Amino acid sequence: MAWFAENYLVIDYGSSYIKGALYEGGAGASKILRLESLPIVSIGSADPVALALVREARAEDDAADVPGPQESLQHVELGEYEYNLVRYVLSFFPEEQNFIINLPQEKLYVRDLNIPVINPRQLPEMIPFEVENLIPITLEEAEVQGIIAESNEESTRVVSFSVNRQVLIDTVEPLQRGDSAIRMLSVDAVGLAEFARLLPENDYRDRVIAQIDMGGEYTIFNALKNGQLIFTRKLDLGGADITRLVAEQFKLGNDEAEQRKLELGLDLTFLNKELQPDDAWFKRLRVEKSEYVKLLKKVESLFKELCEEIERSVLSLPVESPQVFYCSGGLSLMAGVIDYLGQELGRRVTAYPVALSNGENPALWATAIGTSAHYQRKSQDRLDFLNSPFGSTLKGGELNFNMFSTPIMILLLSVILFLGGLLAGVVLDRRQIQANRTELIKVARTIPGVKASSNYKTILNNIKQVCRTRLRSAGGTEDGQGILQILQEITRLTPGPDDLFFKLRLLTYTGDGVKFDADVNNYEDSTRLIAALKKSTLFSKVELAKNQRAYNQKLIRITVQIKLNRQSKLAGASCN
């Protein structure tokens, strides 16, 4: 499952068929979901039911856009393009809202430009002015896009595409219904060129290759260097020209001639007499052998003209001749065509060595698949007529949140799981706290001196008070360090009256030691007393805090501070 996935429909509106590729795209990747095609028909030969459905869809869109009474379905004007496009979407993809479409080559003005070297970011602004005098419409009427074909130290070659703005409006209007959106509006030649980049990289990297896409009304000739489009041209020959030859040969209408063309299975290899089938084959097709051969020779003359136009195009290239020519389009599937082009051009002509996973022939879907690959590029690297102030008004639709549905659902699920776990943790903690309080009240009843209470905070304060009282009382006796022991130690270490005059005046117990005042004869005696007291293992520190003459000026009044050396079981004990 792709993150931020959305479906989009690539529509290749040809001259004989509409072909569409439905993709699921997201996170820089895409995959084909369906491929569908439908013949293009004229309004005059349209199926009445299909025509009514298309008119109804058009009327519903008009009603949504313009309030008030609407015209009847019978009077809704439909052009052939709109009828076929809406009919196609309603037939195969009625639920889709995101569309990618190309402008056909016949509606474009393609011009090759040679622009002096400038900053590439300035090219979009320069191209319209460079092409202004080369197209039959004014810049006020036109939208101009271009791609860099080649760049060197002196100049930049650009392939430009210009189109009338009204053509852009007419192209996207049939798809602007409800909240539908046009994701990209490019051109057939660029989509076709992008398809070549699906080949193995060695087939186009550092090489010049050509593309021949033979459609219904015309053929697109592309030249690519290093996978980049450097030249494109529309050649006026396609499958419809062969249909017209069949119509003339057998005196048929256009629709009957198209059907007859498919029945005959024209094969250019039959021009070789040795390869022609037997008489039974012609009899089965209800055609005279002479008529068939005559038709083949007329078809051959068309392909000769096509080869001459391809040769002229090759001579016009700004690079060396292509090393290989890849064929696509419905006409390329006609038997013997690729071999005939190779012989007539004297070059390597081949089909694309690409296979689609659903077994479809890539020759029919090259433009649609290539256009999807072009859409996967970064916005600034696309040729997209919607990337302009005017083009942005044609996108339509609103922000589609469907593509965010999967990550949003996963995010919501994660948040729900997180909050659920947090809530469960809070409930369990509250239960544990209540159990601890109950246990505390139960234990407190067994402690002597703790007053009974139903409030756990009161019980805690009572327990702390009892604890501190017991620590203070135990601190004076633990390990024999009571006040009597301290006096005994001072007496033991003080030199006798024969050696030292000593008279204790005041002794104060400070909790972690004692402080006493005494009288001695002189300063030397005070020093001797301090030295004697320091020999005790009971005292950790002994210092002379005060040393001065007494009131009678005969004795020395001293103050001694002693810290106790506590290493009992109560050391570090706390009631917190």
Residues 463 and 508 grouped into a single domain? no
Do residues 182 and 298 make contact, with C-beta atoms less than 8 angstroms apart? no
Does 237 fall in a domain? yes
How many residues comprise the chain? 576
Tell me the three state secondary structure of residue 12.
Answer: strand
Residues 485 and 466 grouped into a single domain? no
pTM assigned to the model = 0.67
d(CA 8, CA 330): 24
Number of domains the chain is built from: 3
Around Cβ 556, how many Cβ atoms within 10 Å?
18
Residues 332 and 212 grouped into a single domain? yes
pLDDT in tens, 210-259: 999 999 899 999 999 999 999 999 999 999 999 999 999 999 998 899 89
Residues 419 and 455 grouped into a single domain? yes
d(CA 401, CA 502): 97
Does 389 fall in a domain? no
Residues 310 and 342 grouped into a single domain? yes
Residues 442 and 498 grouped into a single domain? no
Amino acid at 483: I
The whole-number pLDDT of residue 575 equals 64
The whole-number pLDDT of residue 67 equals 47
Q: Give the CATH number, domain containing residue 345.
A: 3.30.420.40
Domain range for 286 is 199-353
Does 331 fall in a domain? yes
Does 325 fall in a domain? yes
Residues 497 and 435 grouped into a single domain? no
Do residues 366 and 328 make contact, with C-beta atoms less than 8 angstroms apart? yes
Last residue of a domain, one of 334, 353, 372: 353
d(CA 379, CA 240): 36
d(CA 156, CA 127): 11
Does 276 fall in a domain? yes
Does 267 fall in a domain? yes
Does 328 fall in a domain? yes
Residue ranges for the chain with pLDDT beneath 70: 1-4, 26-28, 45-47, 49-51, 57-78, 117-118, 397-408, 444-445, 449-452, 454, 456, 470-482, 511, 550-553, 566-576
Q: Which of 242, 260, 405, 412 is nearest to 331 (CA)?
A: 242
Does 426 fall in a domain? yes
Last residue of a domain, one of 439, 458, 475: 475
Q: Give the CATH number, domain containing residue 487.
A: 3.30.1360.100
Cross-strand pairs, 26: 29
Last residue of a domain, one of 443, 475, 507: 475
**Continuous segment of H or E residues that includes residue 435:** helix 405-444
d(CA 519, CA 530): 13
Residues 212 and 346 grouped into a single domain? yes
Do residues 218 and 437 make contact, with C-beta atoms less than 8 angstroms apart? no
Around Cβ 81, how many Cβ atoms within 10 Å?
16
Residues 302 and 437 grouped into a single domain? no
Q: How far is CA 424 from CA 78, 251, 285, 436, in A?
A: 64, 85, 81, 18
d(CA 211, CA 363): 11
Residue with tokens 């024209």: 266
Residue 444 in tokens:
């407190």
List the end-to-end C-alpha distance of the chain, in Å, as a whole number: 57
Residues 455 and 485 grouped into a single domain? no
Residues 412 and 540 grouped into a single domain? no
Residues 203 and 294 grouped into a single domain? yes
Amino acid at 176: Q
pLDDT in tens, 522-536: 888 888 888 888 888
